[in-house]
């Protein structure tokens, strides 16, 4: 069969259309963001710091952007993903701990009575964390998390948690990196928990993940060195801990910070109060239909001070409802 | 005046010579290293991990190399540079602390009787560290270190401490980076001390410096956020602390490690005992004429286990005397 040849005019048209499509893509690095203040602000900031001739030029080495994770890059509702992991691990480990049936907060977790578990307070949460996060090697822990993420599903969406990431934020991460930024995660979540998926999911390598840590110990077991996770908190990377973590792990002040709750307040304050061009952005969860609507008074991801003080500090408040065309990558 | 023109033959000769010089340089990325086992081992390792067709190829993202600092990248004799800083700071701060005249270890430091100061043991050293390293903001501390490094001189060589770096190791750092490696410092020294010069001196940016840390606190002073250094040890990045620090800050296992003392033993063990191509290298200080000769029993930079076990673990022992053409950049 002879292939039908396109006329020269049709070829020309095809080429023009392809070029136009490319040009549109090139002009819009953030296709899931609606046009508006938030998107313009981000694009103008990136243009300013990458313009060699401009007064706000920042050399690539200093283009450091920090992102909170829970509620900023992926969903934190109805509970933090790492807390869902804790619950599942307690259930999985319960046969080896018959005493948990009588002991809060474990009893509550096993019986699905999270209110009773929560009544054990911060000490109870710490007990849960240590029972599920310590006492194994770092390799064993990473494997457990990876296996769990492969099978666990979000209670409302029925999707893997690694699908519960925000498409507009994935685009933002990529856009910043294309413009010479180093993108870091700076999260209250456990650093070893996040490192298992941050590379594949966000394009953020292990050495650019800053988070909460527990103490570890180096050991040689049967001639093979391992690092063992100990049941002791080392560092909590939340609130005023975020600038501390940034300074400790990164060692210089970022020029852009992205968060969603008051746990990110000090990070945004630290980043945006330095001289020179700075970008502070808060993702406001105001989309109950596509995800969840919460801010003031929410037990998870409370956002109050950021809403009140953010605008006069020059921070951009992103409305998920209005600023985002799409929330999750799996949306049609 | 008319410029004298070169003949075509002279031009040709000049071009051939320039190309030949370039070729020699290209063939020898480590000009201050003598030909021998150490240099061949390094070059063969780099060739193997960068050969896309070879069985030992390592993707650039995983090409992580870790370097001890004191005694590996710069001189640690007669005392650690940071200890010389402590001594000078105690002297500078003494007028504000009249009680130090009667109090060890300060008294010993002020009177130049380091033996008396050392008798105060680890607790005394900690007191000296905290008196000189804590109680100021991180910016103030960095400025103090920078100012000190600009004026302090090595007691034997009369050079700035930042000149007391090893030329062959500077070449090695650059050579690895040219081959897609990320070069990190992993040192027992203070991370904020090292970050002040690691960029300019070693080409290692702040976020690739891992070291010992003291606790810090985020504060807002008169509306201006600062990070304050507290008189509490946070983490000691030495011995078995080095793999712990690597895991915490970098989050993946390097493929090459460079050290000089038994404080680097666990780091080399951790790096070289993983499967795949691995390089472990120990700088042996055996050159009393050009620098210093010390190993077993030395109070600073003791090297015993590394010498005994290194060779059968496949680690390369570098003889500064025989393997290095030049020790310091300022040598003729």
In the block, tokens 């900690």 appear at B126
The DSSP letter of residue B257 is E
Q: Which of B207, B238, B241 to mutate to test the interface with A (most CBs of A within 10 A)?
A: B207
CA distance A63 to A51: 13
Residue B241 pLDDT exceeds 70? yes
A115 pLDDT band (50/70/90 cuts)?
Answer: confident
B252 in A contact zone (CB under 8 Å): yes
Return the SS3 of B228: strand
Contact: A195, B249; criterion CB under 8 Å: no
Which residue on chain B is closest to A250 by alpha carbon?
A: B207
Comparing CA positions, the residue from B159, B251, B179, B175 lying closest to residue B210 is B251
* CB proximity B55 to A under 8 Å: no
Cα A83–chain centre separation: 15
Percentage of chain A lying above the pLDDT 70 cut: 92
**Residue A216 pLDDT more than 90?**
yes
Q: What is the pLDDT of residue A25?
A: 52
Which residue's entry shows tokens 């370097």? B67
Which residues on chain A are in Cβ contact (under 8 Å) with B206? 250-252
Comparing C-alpha atoms, which of A327, A331, A268 is closest to residue A67?
A268
Chain B nearest C-alpha distance from A297 (Å): 25
Residues of chain B with pLDDT > 70: what percent? 92
Chain-chain contact of A250 with B207 (C-beta, under 8 angstroms): yes
Local confidence band at A20 (pLDDT 50, 70, 90 cut-offs):
low
CB-CB under 8 Å, A269 with B220:
yes
**Tally of helices (H runs) and strands (E runs) in chain B:** 13, 7
Measure the CA–CA gap between B44 and B54, rounded to whole angstroms: 12
8 Å CB contact between B94 and B100: yes
Compute the Cα dihedral for A157, A163, A169, A171 and give only its sign.
negative
Q: What is the pTM of this model?
A: 0.92
Instruction: Indicate whether B154 pLDDT > 90.
Output: yes
Cα separation, A143 vs A150, in Å, equals 11
Read off the tokens for A268: 């945004």
Cβ atoms within 10 A of the Cβ of B50, count?
A: 17
Residues of A in contact with B264 (CB under 8 A): none
Q: pLDDT for B53-95, tens place per residue? A: 999 999 999 999 999 999 999 999 999 999 999 999 999 999 9
Phi-psi bin for A245: left (phi > 0), alpha (psi -120 to 50), beta? alpha
Cβ-Cβ contacts under 8 Å, B218 against chain A: 240-241, 243-244, 266, 270
Cross-chain residue pair B269–A220, CB shorter than 8 Å: yes
Which residue in A213, A225, A248 is closest to B243 by CB distance? A225
Q: Under a CB-based contact definition with an 8 Å cutoff, are residues A169 and A329 in contact?
A: no
Instruction: Give Dmax (Cα) for chain B.
Output: 80
Report the pLDDT value the prediction gives residue A1, as an integer from 0 to 100. Answer: 45
- Average pLDDT of the segment spanning A205-232: 97
| pLDDT tier for residue A165 given thresholds of 50, 70 and 90 | very high
Cβ pair A244:B218 closer than 8 A: yes
pLDDT digit string, tens, across residues B307-329: 999 999 999 999 999 999 999 99
Cβ atoms A112, A151 nearer than 8 A: no
Query: Taking CB atoms and an 8 Å limit, are A206 and B250 in contact across chains?
Result: yes
The confidence band for A169, taking pLDDT boundaries of 50, 70 and 90, is: very high
Considering only CB atoms, which chain A residues are within 8 Å of B240? Answer: 217-218
* Three state DSSP letters for B106-128: HHHHHCCCHHHHHCCHHHHHHHH
Residue B114 pLDDT level (bands cut at 50, 70, 90): confident
Q: What is the mean pLDDT of residues A314-320?
A: 98
Tell me the C-alpha distance between A120 and A107, whole Å: 11
pLDDT band per the 50, 70, 90 thresholds, residue A118: confident
pLDDT greater than 70 at residue A180: yes
Instruction: State how far residue B222 is from chain A, nearest Cα, in angstroms.
Output: 12
CB contact under 8 A, A270 and B61: no
Instruction: Enter the DSSP assignment of B246.
Output: I
Q: Cβ–Cβ of A249/B249 closer than 8 Å?
A: yes
With vertex at residue A34, the alpha carbon angle to CA A29 and CA A40, rounded to the nearest 5 degrees, is: 65
Contact status of A247 with chain B (Cβ, < 8 Å) = yes
Chain A: give the shortest CA distance to residue B45, in Å.
Answer: 23
Q: By C-alpha distance, which of B175, B154, B191, B319 is closest to B256?
A: B175
In this predicted model, what pLDDT tens digit does every residue of B4-50 receive, in sequence order?
A: 556 666 666 666 666 555 555 567 999 999 999 999 999 999 999 99
Q: Is B241 on the interface with A (CB under 8 A)?
A: yes
Average pLDDT, chain B: 94
Q: What is the mean pLDDT of residues A304-332?
A: 97
Rg of chain A taking only CA atoms, in angstroms: 23
């Amino acid at each position: 069969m002879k292939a039908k040849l396109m006329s020269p005019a049709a070829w020309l048209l095809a080429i023009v259309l392809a070029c136009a499509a490319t040009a549109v893509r090139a002009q819009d690095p953030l296709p899931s963001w609606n046009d508006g203040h938030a998107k313009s602000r981000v694009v103008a900031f990136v243009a300013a710091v990458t313009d060699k001739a401009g007064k706000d030029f920042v050399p690539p080495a200093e283009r450091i952007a920090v992102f909170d994770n829970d509620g900023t890059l992926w969903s934190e509702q109805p509970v933090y993903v790492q807390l869902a992991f804790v619950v599942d691990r307690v259930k999985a480990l319960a046969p080896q701990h018959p005493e948990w049936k009588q002991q809060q907060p474990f009893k509550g977790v096993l019986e699905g009575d999270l209110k009773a578990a929560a009544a054990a307070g911060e000490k109870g949460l710490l007990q849960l964390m240590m029972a599920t996060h310590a006492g194994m090697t770092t390799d064993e822990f990473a494997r457990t998390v990876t296996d769990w993420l492969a099978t666990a599903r979000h209670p409302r969406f029925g999707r893997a948690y690694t699908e519960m990431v925000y498409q507009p934020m994935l685009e933002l991460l990529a856009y910043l990196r294309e413009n010479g930024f180093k993108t870091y995660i700076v999260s209250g979540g456990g650093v070893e928990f996040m490192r298992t998926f941050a590379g594949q999911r966000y394009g953020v390598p292990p050495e650019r993940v800053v988070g909460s840590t527990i103490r570890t110990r180096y050991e040689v077991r049967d001639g093979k060195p391992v690092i063992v996770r100990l049941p002791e908190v080392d560092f909590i990377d939340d609130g005023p801990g975020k600038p501390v973590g940034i300074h400790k792990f990164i060692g210089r002040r970022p020029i852009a910070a992205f968060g969603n709750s008051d746990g990110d307040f000090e990070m945004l304050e630290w980043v945006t109060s330095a001289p020179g061009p700075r970008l502070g952005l808060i993702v406001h969860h105001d989309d109950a239909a596509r995800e969840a609507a919460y801010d003031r008074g929410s037990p998870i991801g409370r956002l109050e001070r950021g809403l009140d003080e953010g605008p006069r500090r020059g921070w951009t408040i992103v409305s998920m409802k209005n600023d985002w065309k799409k929330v999750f990558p799996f949306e049609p």
